[in-house]
Each structure stands twice: as C-alpha cells, then as structure tokens.
Amino acid sequence: MAVIKLTEENFATETSNGLVLVDFYADWCGPCQMLGPVLDELAVEVTDVKITKVNVDESKPLAKQFGVTTIPNITLLKDGDVIHQDVGYKPKEALLTLIETYRK
C-alpha cells in the first residue's frame, strides 16, 4: 500500500479505525525529506497499519489540533485517538519497533 496523504477533508475517515501512523511534515524540511523514503518502504512492508502524512503548510488546522510545533512529527493513532507522539527523523527499525509496541 502507498503512503496516504491526509487533508482536513479525509483525516477523520482515514484515521478512525485501526492503527494509523501519521507523519506531520513539510516539503522544505530536510529531516522530513529523509523520512519520506522510509515511510514509503514501511507502507509496503506493514500492511495492517495505515502509513499516512499531513503537510503542515497545507493543513495548519490539523497541525494545530495535534499540537505539532516541530517536524517531522510522528503521531500514532489507534481508532482515532493519539497513543504516541514523537519528533525528529526515525530510522525504519525504530518505527517498526514503535508499531510493534502498539499493534496488540
């Protein structure tokens, strides 16, 4: 599955069910650019978790709603509720560990 781009219009629908990893990012952000290919790989390998992204410049209300002040910001949601938030670049192994922690 490919990384799903979230907007204010589809956010609630796409994140309301199951485990969803949300990357709050911006195109101009260097660490965000490094994280992009990692998320692409993750989206192919982890089929039971939605891997998504929100452009903070295009969806400022969503960034504000989730208290995003630093990017990249990785937010993990379960059935629409925040269960984990972290900032900064993370390697694939760290993201896999994070997913595994909350997968149950």
Give backbone dihedrals phi and psi of 82, rounded to 5 degrees, phi first.
Answer: -70, 125
Write the burial class of residue 73 (CB in 10 Å: 0-12 exposed, 13-18 middle, 19+ buried).
buried
Query: Vertex 16, ends 73 and 70: CA angle to 5°?
Result: 10
Region of 21 (left: φ > 0; alpha: ψ -120 to 50; beta: rest) is: beta
Asked whether the beta carbons of 26 and 55 are under 8 A apart, the reply is: yes
- Please identify every residue annotated as catalytic: 29, 32
